[in-house]
Amino acid sequence: MSFLQNKKILVTGADGFIGSHLVEYLINQGYQVKAFCYYNSFNSWGWLDSFEKEIVDKIEIFMGDIRDPNGVREAMKDCDVIFHLAALIAIPFSYHSPDSYIDTNIKGTLNILQAAKDLNIQRVLVTSTSEVYGTAQYVPIDEKHPKQPQSPYSASKIGADAIADSFYRSFNLPVTIVRPFNTFGPRQSARAFIPTIVTQLLSGYSEIKLGDLSPTRDLLFVKDTVRAFEAIANCEELIGHEVNIATNSEISIAEVARMIIDKINPKATIIQDEVRIRPEKSEVFRLFGDNTKLNRFTDWKTETSFADAIQETIEWFKDKNNLSNYKSNIYNM
């Protein structure tokens, strides 16, 4: 029997891209799930609102704010395992609003850790990002690669990771730092480059606005990412570790853009939009992750080919109900 069996799992950031896929996957695996969603006056549950009723009915919803320690503690009281995904993630937005990243990403993570310590939570997975590594100094990037904060967002995630590690070392809190590389798929926000390309093409634009096309990314389909979360949570040997979720490969933004254009409108062209270009010292030019540790301790492996994952993503966006959630004519930071 897996460790997670018969445990109550709290997922923070459940209303977001990866969080909603994780909730859906855990429910389909038969786990008991509480979803921590960002409180708002519209009573919106984010992407959870798009779920079939039979799935929603199995989820316990908790509305709160990860920045508030009281609400966080209340949400965690009856839980055994925490998947902490709630975060601000857009890099350009972090350039002019860094305080919000410190409050959400660092203070929010501290709130989770403090409550987990006091409530004797059995397992905590803190979600990191490959952005903490900055531009690769060597490849593939393993967990020992130096951290390089090339944006306020990256710096806030390095801080959150460090606090999580300190709670493991200081209080023996059963923490694992989970570090997905560049996850993509249905429901991803338009601030990411794949939805940016797809939504512009499906909206009929023949000139696709993008930033720098030269960076490479280790692209990971979201369904593979969430299965890795489960595998890591079930692995006691990975407590106290940082763990990459990666494909051991890289592909340039230009190559991905051409692949998507060929599938939707081969006559479309790309134009460089200066607004979308990061400052040179802030751009992460190469990400190519090493998944050796994950493969050594678990039986996880990717199940969806890159071509199939891109096609599934395009098909999801082709649904007018999904596409209508995106403003393809506006640069989404």
pLDDT digits (tens, 9 = 90+) for 144-166: 999 999 999 999 999 999 999 99
The mean pLDDT of the chain is 97
Q: Which helix (H) or strand (E) holds 84?
A: strand 81-84
Distances (CA, A) of 273 to 21, 119, 213, 270, 278: 31, 49, 11, 9, 11
CATH code of the domain occupying 8-186+220-249+287-304: 3.40.50.720
pLDDT of residue 282: 96
In whole angstroms, what separates CA 55 from the centre of its chain?
21
Domain borders along the chain are: 8-186+220-249+287-304
The answer to whether the predicted template modeling score (pTM) of the entire model surpasses 0.85 is yes
User: Residue 302 has which token pair?
Assistant: 């990717």
pLDDT digits (tens, 9 = 90+) for 98-128: 999 999 999 999 999 999 999 999 999 999 9
What are φ and ψ of residue 141, in 5° steps?
-80, 115
- Find the DSSP H helices in the chain: 17-28, 53-56, 69-76, 91-96, 98-101, 108-118, 152-171, 193-202, 222-233, 253-264, 292-297, 306-318, 320-323
User: What are the strands of the beta sheet with 242-245, ordered from one edge?
Assistant: 59-64, 32-38, 8-12, 81-84, 123-127, 175-180, 242-245
Q: Report whether 129 contacts 179 (CB < 8 A).
A: yes
Give the C-alpha separation, 291 to 246, whole Å: 5
pLDDT of residue 64: 98
The three-point CA angle 304-245-95 to 5° equals: 110
pLDDT of residue 50: 97
Residues shown for the chain: 333
| Over residues 292-306, mean pLDDT | 98
| Gyration radius from the chain CA atoms | 19
Tell me: pLDDT of 197 over 90: yes
Using alpha carbons, select from 235, 244, 220, 226 the residue that is nearest to residue 304.
Answer: 220
Report the percent of the chain where pLDDT is more than 90: 96
Tell me: pLDDT of 141 over 80: yes
The contacts of residue 46 (CB under 8 Å, 6+ apart) are 14, 15, 16, 20, 37, 38
Using alpha carbons, select from 91, 126, 139 the residue that is nearest to residue 277.
Answer: 91
Give the C-alpha separation, 235 to 123, whole Å: 10
Tell me: pLDDT of 333 over 70: no
Using alpha carbons, select from 18, 39, 5, 238 the residue that is nearest to residue 127.
Answer: 18
Give the C-alpha separation, 176 to 121, whole Å: 13
How many Cβ atoms sit within 10 Å of the Cβ of residue 66?
Answer: 25
| Over residues 242-261, mean pLDDT | 98
Burial class of residue 238 (count of CB atoms within 10 Å of its CB; 0-12, 13-18, 19+): buried
pLDDT of residue 332: 73
Give the C-alpha separation, 217 to 227, whole Å: 20
